[in-house]
Structure 1
Amino acid sequence: MGNIKKLAGQTIWYGLPTIVQRMLGFVLQLFLTSIFVTEKFGVMTQVYAFISFMNVLFTYGLETSYFRFAQNTDKERLFNTLSISLIVSTTLFALLLIAGSGPLAAMLDLHGQTDLVVLAAGILFFDTLATMPFAKIRQEGRPRKFALVKILTIVTQILLTIFFLVLCPALYKEGHSWMQWFNPEAGVEYFMLANLLASFFGLLYISREFVSFRWLFDKSLWQEVIRYSLPLIIVGLGGMVNEMLSRLIFPKVYPFPDEVTDSQLGIFGANYKLAVLVTVFIQAFRMGAEPFFFNQSRNEDAQHTYARVMKFFVMALGAVFLVVSLFIDFWILFITRGPDKRYAEGMHIVPILAMATVFLGIYYNLTIWYKLTNRNMTGAWITLAGALITVGLNIWWIPQFSYTGSSWATFVCYAFMMTVSYVLGQKYYPVPYDVKRILFYLGLAALIYAGHGWLRSQHPGFWTLQVCGLLGMGIYMAVILFMERSEFTRLLGRRKV
């Protein structure tokens, strides 16, 4: 139980920078809306979507591979080999992006803004070079160092953004001669420049992890790692498709005028963000769980540890799902803070997307079986099948049910991936998951939400709903504490009375 307690503590530390980033990002978004017109936001969205996809190619699964091979390979030799691989490939990829910035800008509809592609290449360059030092920290179980560097990098980006978008325009208007370099027409460019510089400083903040680095390259080890990691590119790209494709397909298949389509897509996107609390928890858990699972694989009782972790994970996911779903009326205040109140029309999709994200979290937990058994290609096929389901159901359901259909498509996709991964995992790497209790806890969370939803339909008032939401949370936690009292007693290290 000590290992699970350690994982829980690491999840908190890994979650801290994620939560800080989300909170500061929310504040920054409010700040940027007062500076950027909607067209510039559209440009920024396109560029950062491009960066997200390219990040999968730049890192090509080496982070997970490091955790896998660190179990039976000299860690220093592994770190040197993979670092050299990333340094060489990242330099090559970045130069290719810069050389092809013109055609890429045209493909991304950036209207000749090649400088944005160049800035994106720089961001990818520094972020990718930091991959192995961060992987080393996670593998060695140093979440405090991870959190410190991440938070410092986030704060640096915020300060640089304020410098370029607030201080520099003010100084330029005052006519300072030394500000002639500043272009008042540029906005997105300076935001990305702040990101680029923050990524550079982030690499500096973590540069001490390179102290032991040597230019020693093991070709045979690298070939073995690459065979393992290449399918993870498909997994990563497929995951990006599953997460983002519904919003890309929507305007193509929704059979209404553009203004109606844009409005519906806006409502969908705003409510999609309300499921972010579940995502934040899953991201924090994955940061600690991936190296933890690989480190545990050497122990005889590894499968039982994985099963126990899954049960605690699902209990926590159920609680986060309820926090999102029971207090919808409270969360909706954040996305209806402007004059347009139509965002509230889509709040019924939030629980659907939140539960879909719960399934995705369980799926991530289950993927350890193909990573440990070197069956990454099977994981790639599962992800591709999920992407096909996402495409097919979105094309079928969006014309009939708008964003509600797209939300259910996401739900079905992640439920499918979770189920298939569990079935195949039990075949190739059986783990004694407590399926009955897991289903019971998920069912209990869904039942409490359904009861609260019925109460909402009776229109009892805002504060009555909040109090009943707290009551629902209390019931969920009380049931878990009662059913898992022996587990919590062991976890807390106390003797049973």
Structure 2
Amino acid sequence: MSAIKKLAGQTLWYGLPTIVSRFLGYLMNMALPFLFAQPSKTADITQVYAIIPFLNILFTYGMETAYFKYSQEKEKQTLYNTLSVSLLVSTIVFSLLLLLGRDVIAKAADLTEHPEYILWMTAIIFFDTLATLPFARLRQENRPRRYAFVRVAGIVVNLLVVFTFLGFIPSYVNKHPDSILNLVVKLDIGIGYYLIGNLLGSLTTFLLLWPEIKQVQWEFHKEMWQEIMRYSYPLIIVGLGGMVNDMLSRLVYQHVVDLPAEQAKHELGVFANLYRLAVLITIMIQAFRMAAEPFFFNQSKEEGAQKSYARVMKFFVIACCFMFLLIGLYLDALKWIITLKSPAWGEGMYIVPILAMGNIFLGIYYNLSIWYKLTGKNLYGAYITIAGAAITIGLNMLLIPKWHYLGAAIATFTCYLVMMVSSYALGQKYYPVPYAKKKLISYLVLVTLIVLFHRLILSFYHPLWFSIATGTLLLLGFSMFVAKIERRDLQKLPLIGRFV
């Protein structure tokens, strides 16, 4: 159990800055319904942020995971130098290619009215890529305070820029039309300030990481690099496939839905916002991954590592179940918040629990995927992800034209379910871990039934206060149930154990 305590402590240290930074970023995205009355106004920025994750995978090509793995085997400074030089050269080359092809990309993404978005997007990816290994080094060296400061500082700068130029300045100019700030409003950049804020945040992060960056020496170990690339190239496929599964629905939505262009933009804006509500759950998943990836590699050499992984999975699923309930049981409260400016943003809320459960499956898959990373069978991870991508592409093309939001949600749910089950089956064959399968499935089924029961109650009587009150009672009931079932293990955890 000491390993679990260690991971819990690391998750707390790395999780808090991740949660804070993710929440601030999430808050900024959730501000869209308050800054723009019409969802269609946000469609272009949704397209850009659907492209960025694909390019991030290509630009970093698995170097972060490779650094964690090989830092256990190689001389760390040589490894850091070699990977940093590789990333620097490739980032410059890839960025130049993006700039040369910006017109083609803008046309393909239906961004011809805003070609400057491609330039800003390229700069964001450039600085984010160069920050990848310095962040990984901070995590590997257990320097959470510095990691937290740098991570949060970049998000804060981003947030300040967006709310200053989209919130404060327009509001001030409305009251003082003769102000010099009216020149800023006349620039008519609009939602483009999201990208400008992101760029300035990424630049701030890069500059704050300069002490780690300047430690890089111009050293390139060819044989080491070749060995690492043999390990990493399947992770590129895994990453790209994962982005297809995560982003494709938003990337293709307005192109495959059978609607006029303006209505398609409207639905894309709404769907992207619904997806943001669902991926509240990924804030916790991301926080967990920050601590878990180096932990899993370090723990792999310890006796009883598989049992530790099984316990980690149990607590992870329980945490995901609570996040699912927080989303599903307070859906009406979330809807009330996002529709304060315009009721148009509240369309399709019924798909949010479907997307949330799909993201739980994705989080479980991330946990399960440690088997192929530890055994060096990364190609199996690529095969699983390719299968998931094929399901995503097929179901999105088939279901979005018919069922719109619901079709996209079903595609996400099905893809991640298949990936989770496939990874579990293969993992038990090549690296068996004694997961508490029946118990974990029971928890997932139980929280699904709780949310369905809550919606059934609300079909008869649905004031907002009643929805919140009954949701809270059901959440407390599940909490007491879990505390009773898992009492022995929960008592051994830091912080939580004091209340059990």
Q: Is the 8 A contact 2:43 2:268 kept in 1?
A: no
Q: What displacement does 1:487 show? A: 1.1
Q: What displacement does 1:390 show? A: 1.5
The answer to whether the aligner puts 1:313 opposite 2:313 as a matched pair is: no
* Unaligned runs of at least 5 residues, structure 1: none
Aligned match of 2:91: 90
Aligned match of 2:453: 451
1:398-444, Cα deviation, whole Å (9 max, x unpaired): 34433223222221111110000000001111111111211122122
Closer, same or farther: CA 436–20 of 1 in aligned 2, 3 Å = same
The answer to whether the aligner puts 1:380 opposite 2:400 as a matched pair is: no
For residues 91-130 of structure 1, the aligned pairs below 5 Å read: 91-111=92-112, 113-130=114-131
Of 152-161 and 315-324, deviating more is 152-161
Closer, same or farther: CA 402–424 of 1 in aligned 2, 3 Å = same
The answer to whether the aligner puts 1:230 opposite 2:227 as a matched pair is: no
Q: Is the 8 A contact 2:14 2:287 kept in 1?
A: yes
- The alignment partner of 2:119 has SS state of helix
Code of the aligned partner of 1:234 = I
Q: Is the 8 A contact 1:370 1:425 kept in 2?
A: yes
TM-score, length-scaled by structure 1: 0.89
Provide the C-alpha distance between the structure 2 equivalents of 1:100 and 1:256, rounded to a whole number of angstroms: 29
Provide the C-alpha distance between the structure 1 equivalents of 2:204 and 2:386, rounded to a whole number of angstroms: 36
The answer to whether the aligner puts 1:337 opposite 2:326 as a matched pair is: no
Provide the C-alpha distance between the structure 2 equivalents of 1:296 and 1:406, rounded to a whole number of angstroms: 38
Q: What displacement does 1:141 show? A: 2.8
Identity of aligned residues (%): 48
Aligned match of 2:411: 409
Closer, same or farther: CA 481–407 of 1 in aligned 2, 3 Å = same
Closer, same or farther: CA 294–172 of 1 in aligned 2, 3 Å = farther
Q: Is the 8 A contact 1:172 1:182 kept in 2?
A: no
Aligned match of 2:47: 46
Code of the aligned partner of 2:74 = T
Q: What displacement does 1:368 show? A: 0.3
Count of aligned positions: 493
Aligned match of 2:355: 353
Q: What displacement does 1:188 show? A: 5.4
Q: What displacement does 1:268 show? A: 3.3
Q: Is the 8 A contact 2:46 2:272 kept in 1?
A: no
Q: Is the 8 A contact 1:106 1:112 kept in 2?
A: no
Provide the C-alpha distance between the structure 1 equivalents of 2:40 and 2:278, rounded to a whole number of angstroms: 26
Aligned match of 1:424: 426
Closer, same or farther: CA 105–378 of 1 in aligned 2, 3 Å = same
- The alignment partner of 2:491 has SS state of helix
Provide the C-alpha distance between the structure 2 equivalents of 1:49 and 1:230, rounded to a whole number of angstroms: 22
TM-score, length-scaled by structure 2: 0.89
Q: What displacement does 1:199 show? A: 1.6
1:90-115, Cα deviation, whole Å (9 max, x unpaired): 11212222233333333333327544
Equivalent of residue 299 in structure 2, options 290, 296, 299: 296
Closer, same or farther: CA 406–16 of 1 in aligned 2, 3 Å = same
Provide the C-alpha distance between the structure 1 equivalents of 2:312 and 2:404, rounded to a whole number of angstroms: 37
Aligned match of 1:393: 395
Code of the aligned partner of 1:14 = Y
- The alignment partner of 1:141 has SS state of coil
Aligned match of 2:476: 474
Of 29-38 and 248-257, deviating more is 29-38
Closer, same or farther: CA 182–261 of 1 in aligned 2, 3 Å = closer
Closer, same or farther: CA 117–138 of 1 in aligned 2, 3 Å = same
Provide the C-alpha distance between the structure 2 equivalents of 1:218 and 1:315, rounded to a whole number of angstroms: 44
The answer to whether the aligner puts 1:64 opposite 2:65 as a matched pair is: yes
Of 161-170 and 20-29, deviating more is 161-170
Q: Is the 8 A contact 1:153 1:198 kept in 2?
A: yes
Of 265-274 and 406-415, deviating more is 265-274
Of 67-76 and 40-49, deviating more is 40-49
Equivalent of residue 440 in structure 1, options 439, 442, 463: 442
Q: Is the 8 A contact 2:241 2:386 kept in 1?
A: yes
Question: Does 1 or 2 have the higher relative contact order (CA < 8 Å, sep 6+)?
Answer: 2
Aligned match of 2:200: 197
Q: Is the 8 A contact 2:33 2:338 kept in 1?
A: no
